[in-house]
Structure 1
């Protein structure tokens, strides 16, 4: 296992131990930035670091017992994403005690999340005027400056946060995001994100920062590994589920039921996400459209069985034997049963209900389902009724295949124009 000198924070691990995950090296420091994580979160240097000092509490967490109740209540509201209510409490606190640095920092957090970046910058300046060594104030100042397009100042603020706490992963995530803006700094952003993961291997934010930096550098393999790590740490993480579902949707190898399952899982974690909802509905619509091919296959079975278009080598006597027609009818039932089983067996219950909701609401979904039912009905009539006139059989055949195939042709033409 490779432990570079700059990455060590204790004795070298025992020979023969197995690393849990190995992140690729930085493009600019290929040989010496290979990172090997301990087998578990309770082994290696990370455990010794936890024993040596208490982990620093982040700004989103409730403070210690000495914190003012209004500031602590605001922290709880921030965790619930109720930023306007948190602003009101912090404004009351700062009106009575303007030197409360924690209140200023949490006010900056509220402004960052509500995209009031000028106000966030003002709040961090007030916090730093009272405590120039506040780590969180520098970090959120970096976020605000980056969103305001002041990238050099954002990098400087992030480096100042790292100077204050050089072993804290949050400072390196801030630096990585600050370096993401100019393309010539993308390798440095990737390097900072790798360092963040090294310092916080069990932190979702560190892996998400690495995903962003790897995406900018074109490292899709690292992006996939970062999403997998986030889901390992938090299986219900909405962002990671969304990213995995989107990746499946754009993959040519993924099947529609797998894509729908991914969208359904992500939507369960973020039920208000309209992009996920549209993605799930679009996938379900494609699955319903696929039923027309099952119906056309049933029609083909019926045509071959009932001798609708005989050739010189085929018998021409009508009607076809009863046993043959019953066998064809059973085969058509197997086609539908297997098709429905493969398509819908892995779908969550909510996605199955979504299919019927789409059928009730959307005209094109109804049309696709009606065409599949009509085509199957024509196929069933061909094999059930003992026809003696081949003209009726041919009329039923053309009536069954013409509507779905015409619709499929128009849909494909529309998709080609959209591309």
Structure 2
């Protein structure tokens, strides 16, 4: 059956990811002919994309009232029910769609994903639906993404890898492909936190809506922030050696330490921070820089641990600065400063990993 020209334009707009315009055009078509079941079904698809599953469900029901065997309407009804958390009804709707057309890949992939929640002990059935979906829609990345999800869930790495390869071949910028390949690269042995942060920031430029990549970037940046404490402790150690806070064998240095030696130590500390933190920060991708700022400035508990580690690094560095800037004539206070800078960092340095939420 040929679509009405107005409905055809709405379909094109929907496929161009312009659901608001498609929704408006479908509304006009329904104002002219409220008995157009295809228009009601397309309206439901637009509403699903716009995040309005309850209204999409109602539109699908209206389409089915007008044409009980309309495949697309069963699919939209099942998808809306899934988003509404009514999984058993969603499964029944998609099974009805499959009964109408066994080769329709949309209902097949929905069934495969639904079975992950409803029947996790039946991997063969879920994989069968996923395989039918990719055979019916081999050039659609969503079918391969479903196969990847099902294969990963049921621990079939061979199938998951095949699905990922096909996704990359069809669309190298696909969110799943970008996410998985970036995570693999970042997980390689020897990959620094800075390198991982740059990888995730670059991947987000290609897949800006990936929550997994955002979480991974936040964790990588947090690892970098944790590393600043080691820089601070190195400065603290240099300051303690320079001012001879804890004399070793032999004659202790005469206090106060001469100004030239203290200024030299100050220059070394500046170099540690300049090359170890500031230079690295400047060379980071913009997305990683923004994440650093967001982690530190964000309200609530999500910024607590980033602020803790930066605060500890700043405190240890301040203690180091006091050790080299003040011309101490006695070792008692410098020793107290040293332990005040060292102990808080050592107490938490092994207990605050992966605190980014």
Question: So what's the TM-score if we normalise by structure 1?
Answer: 0.62
Aligned residues: 343
Question: What residue number does 1:219 align with?
Answer: 156
Aligned-pair CA distance for 1:309: 1.2
5+ residue gaps, structure 1: 1-62
Determine helix, strand or coil for the equivalent of 1:183. Answer: coil
8 Å contact 1:261–1:346 — kept in the other structure?
A: no
Name stretches of at least 5 consecutive residues in structure 2 with no aligned partner: none
* Offset, 1:106: 0.8
Alignment of 1:68-217 (within 5 A): 68-73=5-10, 75-77=12-14, 79-80=16-17, 82-83=19-20, 86-98=22-34, 100-113=36-49, 114-116=52-54, 118-126=57-65, 128-129=67-68, 132=69, 136-137=72-73, 139-140=75-76, 142-144=78-80, 148=86, 149-150=88-89, 151-162=91-102, 166=103, 169-170=105-106, 172-177=108-113, 179-180=115-116, 181-217=118-154
Contact 2:40/2:60, CA 8 A, preserved across alignment: no
Cα pair distance change 1:234/1:91, threshold 3 Å: same
Once the 2 structures are TM-superposed, how far is the Cα of residue 142 of structure 1 from its aligned partner? 4.9
In structure 2, relative to structure 1, the CA distance for the partners of 1:97 and 1:305 (3 Å cut) is: same
CA change 1:158–1:124 in 2 (3 A) is: farther
Aligned to 2:253: 317
Task: Say yes or no: does 1:290 pair with 2:227.
Answer: yes
Describe the superposition over 1:104-157 as per-residue Cα deviations: whole angstroms up to 9, x where unpaired.
33123134442126425414524644xx5x654454455456664232452242
Q: Judging changes above 3 Å, is the alpha-carbon distance between structure 1 residues 352 and 316 closer, same or farther for their aligned structure 2 residues?
A: same
Deviation, structure 1 residue 261: 3.8
Match of 1:375 in 2: 316
Render the CA deviation track for 1:289-326: whole Å, top value 9, x for unaligned.
431221012212332343321233x5523356888766
Tell me if structure 2 keeps the 8 A contact 1:136–1:161: no
TM-score by length of 2: 0.71
The counterpart of 2:238, out of the listed 292, 295, 301, is: 301
Distance 2:240 2:165 in 1: 49
User: Do structure 1's residue 394 and structure 2's residue 330 form an aligned pair?
Assistant: no
Structure with bigger RCO (C-alpha 8 Å, 6+ apart): 2
- Which structure has greater helix proportion? 2
Distance 1:413 1:291, change over 3 A: closer
Q: Does structure 2 conserve the Cα–Cα contact (< 8 Å) formed by 1:318 and 1:387?
A: no
Q: Measured at CA, do residues 377 and 111 of structure 1 come closer, stay the same or move farther in structure 2, by a change above 3 Å?
A: closer
For the structure 1 residues 372 and 144, does the alpha-carbon distance in structure 2 shift closer, same or farther, using more than 3 Å as the test?
A: closer
User: Residue deviations 1:11-68, cap 9 Å, x none?
Assistant: xxxxxxxxxxxxxxxxxxxxxxxxxxxxxxxxxxxxxxxxxxxxxxxxxxxx98x642
